[in-house]
Structure 1
Amino acid sequence: MQHNSNLAYDYGRFEETSVKKQQQIEKVPKPKRVAKRVSVARACAYMLVAMSMISLLLYGRAQQAEVDKEYKKLTAQINEVKSDNARLQMQLESKLSLNNIEQIAEEQLGLTKLDQSQVEYISFNTADKAEVLKQKTLWSSISNWFQGLFN
């Protein structure tokens, strides 16, 4: 006999099942925490160390800021001196140029350029000769002194 119905069947009832033991959860009491007491002196010491470390950090930053400011100031001075040096170098080169020197020689000193009329040649009738001079050394002067004693 078949039943056509929309009822749900539980086929698990027909299977052989073993009895499952339910696990029981045991409540384990929490261990009591032992409150550690921090002494007031130790807490003050920790605070003092922390405050001194923060103070040293701030002091270091302040010193670094001062050094950085001084560095920037000196760099600006160096750049200014370099630009002055370049300007003075250009002035010196302009004053020492050949055209400038020639102009000063003509205008202020009254000098003129060399003409053929100003050239005079000198000739010597004697032949060229070179003469080697004896240089007096310490030993030669001492020996001359001793020779002077015995002569």
Structure 2
Amino acid sequence: MLEDKNYINGTAARKLVYDVYEENAVLNAKKKQRNNNKVKRKIVLCLLLVFAMGSLAMYRYSRITEMNYEIDKQLKAYNELKNENIRIKVEIENSIDIQKIKEFAEKELGMHKPDKHQITYVRVPQTDLTIVSEAAKEEEMKNAGIFSVIINKVNLLANLLY
């Protein structure tokens, strides 16, 4: 059903087009004042919103700057501690004197150099041997080619002979 704005809904009577505000100057002025007040409220609310957003952005940047200052302060303290540790390590290394250690060991702890009959020599092999499990060897054989398997066997034999 089409609505015609000239008729009252559900009847055949036409709407009266009568605006009280057009004829009465006081009412017309009040209507304009209300409309102006609405516009002013909208403008003030928009300005408040823009001010709030700007304040929020300024607060955020101030917090970021404050955090950066704190980070810089902590980094300076860290570097100072690191430099102090390095200085202390160097001081410790410089303070170690073999003669003082030898004197302390002989006098305070009662230590002395061993006699010739107290010295026992131990033969240490020149190469370290690592024992590989059979499962690892089999896995290596599967992954390797024929030539690399032969080279590995020759290396194992050579290691056993030395």
Q: Which has the higher helix share?
A: 2
TM-score (normalizing by structure 1): 0.45
With structure 2 as the length reference, what TM-score do the two structures score? 0.42
